[in-house]
Amino acid sequence: MRVHFWSADGAGSAFYRAVLPAMSLTWLGHHASHGMRLPKNWESYDTIVGCRVAQTGPTRMWQRLKDEGKRLILDLDDDYFHIDPSNAGAVRVWDRAMLSRLADNLALADLVTCVTEPLAAVLRDYAPDVRVIPNGLPAQYLGHARDYEAAERPLYVGWAGTSSTVAELPETVRALNRIAQYPRPGGGVMVRLVGIGPEQAMDLGLRGRRIGALGWVERLEHYLHAVGEFDVWCAPYRATAFNAAKFPTKWLESSVLGIPLIASDTPAYRAVIRHGENGFLVRYEHEWGRYLKRLADDPDLRQQIGMAARGEASGSIMQALHYQWEAAARVPEGVAA
């Protein structure tokens, strides 16, 4: 089987919805490629997985691929039909014309794949066949040992995001500023922000010599190395329709790496976190500081939470998901590719 994952950009979602699925199909012996452009010999491919196909040019190509008899899978990892108004940039991009093209392309696809059942429920208004295939990570990340003591060095509290999720960060600004000043033995606490730079951090009100902003990290392995140094991970999200359909990616990353996670009590994170057992859920702003302090003070609790989360992460590895991608990409018998 020959499959190409046609990504809309080179951002983080492309790693999860194009790079890693293509890698997983090669493990099964298929010819799978990925990229922002179609291969020059795309005619020889059986299946094209288009990630977020909605721009004018890709839409025309989508129709041509359909006319050529290719199996088309349209993949989405966010609910673009319910973008939060506070994300002005996304609202401008995803205007009425863009959403109309996306809806038409969903209807044209042989199959639509997405990351969560709430998102699938939205997409079933536009396509008859929608299948949920969650995000995953390669199994090798499960094997990294962690230092939960952090007795002779600063404790690192982290946040990771992008320009599309930075609007969630103000939920934790007060707690992060305070924990950065916490006089913990062994070097105190350092706050590390991955995905935004120092100026943006200061604009959000995060200030102080113990708060560092790394900026955007291009490659997935470098990103996972950066967040892998967190001792505690914060994942704030507002209660919006857009967030209700999101995949709990920070849970995936933190659990595979064995990092205790504090997350907002949204549907995505409520589905995977058992409060106080494998993570913490926050309903009110003041709780960020409470759980940060508890984890900063108690290395045994950090280990208990982190290891409980890691113990459940085996179901989130690509080796457990590649057969789902294979089944989705395969051309049904009797259908000419």
pLDDT by residue for the chain (337 residues), tens digit each? Answer: 999 999 998 777 899 999 999 999 999 999 999 999 999 999 999 999 999 999 999 999 999 999 999 999 999 999 999 999 988 888 999 999 999 999 999 999 999 999 999 999 999 999 999 999 999 998 888 867 788 888 788 999 999 998 778 889 999 999 999 999 998 887 899 999 999 999 999 999 998 999 999 998 888 888 989 999 999 999 999 999 999 999 999 999 999 999 999 999 999 999 999 999 999 999 999 999 999 999 999 999 999 999 999 998 888 888 888 899 999 999 887 665 5
Is 193 within the bounds of a domain? yes
The reply to whether 34 and 177 lie within a common domain is no
CATH code of the domain in which 46 resides: 3.40.50.2000
Where helices occur in 80-213 by DSSP H, the ranges are: 88-93, 96-108, 117-123, 173-180, 198-203
Residues 11, 150 within the same domain: no
Name the pTM for this structure: 0.91
The answer on 267 and 166 residing in a single domain is yes
Kindly state whether residues 82 and 225 are assigned to the same domain.
no
Q: Is residue 335 part of a domain?
A: no
What DSSP character marks residue 159? E
**Do residues 47 and 73 touch, judged by C-beta distance below 8 A?**
yes
Of the candidates 269, 306, 292, 248, the one whose C-alpha atom is nearest the C-alpha of residue 157 is 292
Same domain, 121 and 151: no
Q: For the purposes of burial, counting CB atoms within 10 Å of the CB of 71, is it exposed (0-12), middle (13-18) or buried (19 or more)?
A: buried
List all residues 6 or more positions away from 55 whose beta carbon is below 8 Å from its beta carbon. 8, 98, 101
Residues 81 and 148 in one domain: no
337 domain residue, yes or no: no
**Residue 50 belongs to a domain:** yes
Residues 33 and 153 reside in one and the same domain:
no
For residue 228, being part of any structural domain is answered with: yes
Same domain? For 17 and 154 the reply is: no
Helix-helix angle 220-227:249-257, to 10 degrees: 70
Domain boundaries, position 266: 140-316
On whether both 81 and 157 belong to a single domain, the answer is no
Non-local CB neighbours of 25 within 8 Å, separated by 6+ positions: 1, 3, 32, 322, 325, 326, 329
- Domain assignment of residue 336, yes or no: no
Do both 215 and 253 map to the same domain?
A: yes
Number of separate domains in the chain: 2
Residue carrying the six token digits 């209700």: 244
Q: Do the domain assignments include residue 334?
A: no
